[in-house]
Amino acid sequence: MREVKIALLGFGNVGKGVWKILNMNSEELIKRSGYHIKIGKILIRDINKARDLDVPKELFTTNFEDIIEDDSIDIIVELMGGIEPAVDYMLQGMKRKKHIVTANKMAIATKGNTLIKTSREEGVMFYFEGSVAGGIPIIHGLNDNLVANKIEEVIGIINGTTNYILTKMTQEKISFEQALAEAQKKGYAEADPTSDVEAFDAVYKLCILASLAFDTIVSVNSIYREGINNVKPIDIEYAREFGYVIKLLGIIKETNGELELRVHPTMVPAEHPLANVNDSFNAIFLKGNAVGDLMFYGRGAGELPTGSAVVGDIVSILRNKEKSSYYPCLKNEGYKKIKDIEEVKCEYYIRITVKDKPGVLGEISSIFGKNNVSILSVIQKGKREELVSLVFITHSTLEGNINKSIGMIKALNDSEKIENIIRIENLGMD
């Protein structure tokens, strides 16, 4: 039996998932890869930390030199997170002819082209299936099975933590803070959960998907981003009244060679399949000009689902080791124009607090009218003489028109407060 030695950089949620899968499915993995996959070293930060798995102590090291200098290690599996030292370790590994697997979306989205270029120059394989949507095989899907298509649209729920939080706030009415704490406990959240909540994590993933699906270099800074921090229980309740569910969506659309790239909370029709993607599940819809509509669905975070993608990459390397013929790549044939968010067309939910005085609704409605924003419906809740909530749903309009209207409404007087604006995607159900 041939043996291959790998090193894990990191033994947190995903590292432990990889360890468990290698043990749980060892016989199948031997049959499927032709190798006995052995963990030779595990890099961690804190050697004294209690580990809840029975791992021989001598495998742990805090010194990367123990791995890079060990010629018996063929594959480095980077599961530490962050940009540095993770990227430096991966580049060093490639230069020492070690194949690399990672689940680090932040590193791929920001340094992916350097990593790909170096892997090609060094003739090593570089795989990163776990970096987008956990256990869903979307990267192999795009790079391999869907390569015959021109992709026209990708819309997805690509962050497990925020989907878990929104699901719990919607279905069980628990607080944002409690739901986040649960997501952290379950191992879904990033080391710094701001990355999930403020949608940086989803932006990294959308950046990787856009590069792969639309043959272009995408900078993370060109992606419009809004997190779920401002989604309040009252917005979830209004969404329900209007027949919607709020999800954090990543959206890529190509029209006339221009890309729309945005991540933001979105109201989706309650009867649409995306509205029923709950907890840590992710789903990605895409439209190809040959395959038509496709939906990928599965666990988007967590130790075993992500470990599944990582171990799959290790096996892909072992299967291709002799021929070294397959290098998944971020396409980098130049930049496509990215649409400014002001030019994006959507329907909008707008919640405003106003003093309930005669004429206020008329004033606000006339501002919308002046800016070509047509109102589909409006709800007013609250008692007279108090502050009341006005909720507008607009017809499809340019975001620029909404922003002009909001500027004018804010200038009306001090008691009008724009509480929230949430985009609505009817996803072909209108």
| Nearer of residues 304 and 388 to ligand NDP, judged by Cβ | 304
Minimum distance from residue 343 beta carbon to ligand HSE (Å): 29
Whole-number Å distance between alpha carbons of 142 and 358: 56
Phi-psi region of 132 (alpha: psi -120 to 50; beta: other; left: phi over 0): beta
Minimum distance from residue 240 beta carbon to ligand HSE (Å): 24
Minimal CA–CA distance to 209: which of 166, 159, 280, 167? 159
Instruction: Point out which span in 9-17, 228-236, 346-354, 370-378 binds ligand NDP (CB under 6 A).
Output: 9-17
Whole-number Å distance between alpha carbons of 285 and 266: 15
Binding mask 261-300 for ligand NDP (x = CB under 6 A): ----------------------------------------
Minimum distance from residue 300 beta carbon to ligand NDP (Å): 8
Q: Which residues bind ligand HSE (CB under 6 A)?
A: 134, 159-161, 188-190, 196, 201, 300-301
User: CB under 5 to 8 A by kind: which of ligand HSE, ligand NDP, none does 33 bind?
Assistant: none
Instruction: Point out which span in 183-191, 252-260, 339-347, 419-427 binds ligand NDP (CB under 6 A).
Output: 183-191
| Interface with ligand NDP, residue 196, by CB under 6 A | no
Q: Do the Cβ atoms of 110 and 223 come closer than 8 Å?
A: no
Minimum distance from residue 151 beta carbon to ligand NDP (Å): 22
The residue with tokens 């892997």 is 119
- The C-alpha angle 21, 23, 29, rounded to 5 degrees, equals 70
State the number of CA atoms in the 13 A half-sphere of 270 facing the CB. 11
Residue ranges of the annotated binding site for NADPH are 105
Question: Backbone phi, then psi, for 65, in 5-degree steps?
Answer: -55, -35
User: CB under 5 to 8 A by kind: which of ligand NDP, ligand HSE, none does 38 bind?
Assistant: none
351 token code pair: 């919640």
| Nearer of residues 205 and 339 to ligand NDP, judged by Cβ | 205
Residue ranges of the annotated binding site are 9-16, 105, 190
In our burial notation (b when 16+ CB lie closer than 10 A, e otherwise), range 311-346 reads: bbbbbbbbeebeeeeeebbbbeeeebebbebeebeb
Characterize the bridge pairing of strands 281-288 and 337-338: unpaired
| Nearer of residues 115 and 239 to ligand NDP, judged by Cβ | 115
Which listed residue (12, 34, 137, 400) binds ligand NDP by CB under 6 A?
Answer: 12
Characterize the bridge pairing of strands 387-394 and 417-424: unpaired
Minimal CA–CA distance to 3: which of 31, 38, 32, 28? 38
Which listed residue (15, 40, 93, 298) binds ligand NDP by CB under 6 A?
Answer: 15
Binding mask 388-407 for ligand NDP (x = CB under 6 A): --------------------
| Nearer of residues 105 and 264 to ligand NDP, judged by Cβ | 105
Instruction: Point out which span in 103-111, 121-129, 142-150, 265-273 binds ligand NDP (CB under 6 A).
Output: 103-111
Minimal CA–CA distance to 390: which of 378, 402, 399, 398? 378
CA 236 to chain centre: 21
Whole-number Å distance between alpha carbons of 168 and 180: 9
Catalytic residue among 98, 205, 336, 339: 205
User: CB under 5 to 8 A by kind: which of ligand NDP, ligand HSE, none does 81 bind?
Assistant: ligand NDP
* Known active-site residue 205: yes
| Catalytic positions, written as ranges | 205
Contact footprint for ligand NDP (CB under 6 A): 10-15, 43-46, 49, 79-81, 85, 103-105, 130, 134, 187-188, 190-191, 301-302, 306
